[in-house]
């Protein structure tokens, strides 16, 4: 940093850059911001972690504890179904589908991404980006997955989800039963109970959503999510299927060795 740059200018630059990154990722904390800006601007601007955190806190950027936004409402009157996939190996495409809902920030609002994924290939078969948690949107994602799977009788498929009201609703269950899809649900509200869906949500957020400037509106978000899922399905290699692409494996290509598994 040049000697004639004042302390006021340095602080303003830091505050502006923190504000920019908060638009991209609203809940990013001070420690990660320090590392981002140390890389972007250099030590001459950040003046080390302690100096940076003083600016961060004095400008009102320190985060308050945030209760996790829950997309699951398990306090409902609908029937609950047993967990059919516990201890079960996934052996072929359309053997097990996993469904989940995650959230996507846009300027001034939040949207919900409803997903249905094939557990064997990791291909996203159905999705819907909506402004509510209504079961109608979750059912829209399911119907897309059913179309991609060819429709008709899908009696060899197990649909696994958490115990949220969307998945237990009359409309959703009727759609599953119409196509003879067996229903499986988690036994409680723990991310590990639907681990694959949670892991996929993490991939989308870390590799795409948090790397973008915040979407302006729903229309832009839909276009970007569509591109994201297309790349994820058709271009992105997955270690769990031997660096193959999900849609190729879904359509019949043999997966390679799972590179995530620990070696003996």
Residue of higher predicted confidence among 40 and 215 = 215
- Domains of the chain, residue spans: 7-58, 96-250
Model pLDDT for residues 159-207, shown as the tens digit of each residue:
999 888 889 999 999 999 999 999 999 886 555 566 777 777 777 776 7
Q: Is the predicted pLDDT of residue 46 greater than 90, yes or no?
A: no
Whether the model pTM is above 0.85: no
- 91 within 8 A of 151, measured Cβ to Cβ: no
Contact 90, 96 (CB under 8 A): yes
pLDDT band of 1, cuts 50, 70, 90: very low
Q: Specify the CATH architecture of the domain 96-250.
A: 2-Layer Sandwich (3.30)
């Amino acid at each position: 940093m040049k000697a004639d740059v004042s302390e006021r200018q340095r602080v303003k630059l830091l505050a502006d850059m923190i504000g920019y990154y908060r638009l991209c990722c609203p809940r990013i904390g001070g420690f990660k911001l320090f590392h981002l800006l140390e890389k972007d601007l250099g030590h001459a601007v950040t003046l080390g972690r302690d100096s940076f955190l003083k600016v961060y806190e004095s400008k009102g950027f320190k985060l308050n504890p945030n209760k996790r936004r829950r997309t699951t409402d398990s306090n409902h009157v609908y029937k609950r179904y047993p967990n059919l996939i516990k201890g079960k190996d996934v052996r072929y495409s359309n053997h097990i589908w996993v469904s989940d809902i995650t959230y996507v920030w846009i300027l001034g609002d939040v949207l919900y991404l409803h997903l249905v994924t094939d557990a064997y290939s990791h291909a996203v078969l159905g999705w819907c980006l909506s402004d509510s948690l209504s079961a109608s949107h979750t059912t829209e994602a399911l119907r897309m997955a059913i179309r991609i799977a060819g429709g008709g009788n899908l009696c060899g498929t197990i649909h696994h989800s958490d115990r949220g009201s969307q998945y237990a609703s009359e409309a959703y269950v009727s759609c599953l039963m119409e196509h003879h899809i067996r229903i499986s649900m988690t036994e409680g509200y723990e991310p590990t109970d639907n681990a694959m869906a949670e892991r996929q949500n993490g991939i989308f957020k870390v590799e795409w959503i948090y790397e973008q400037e915040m979407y302006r509106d729903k229309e832009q978000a839909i276009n970007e999510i569509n591109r994201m899922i297309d790349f994820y399905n058709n271009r992105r290699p997955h270690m769990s299927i031997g660096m193959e692409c999900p849609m190729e494996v879904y359509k019949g290509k043999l997966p390679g060795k799972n590179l995530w598994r620990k070696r003996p």
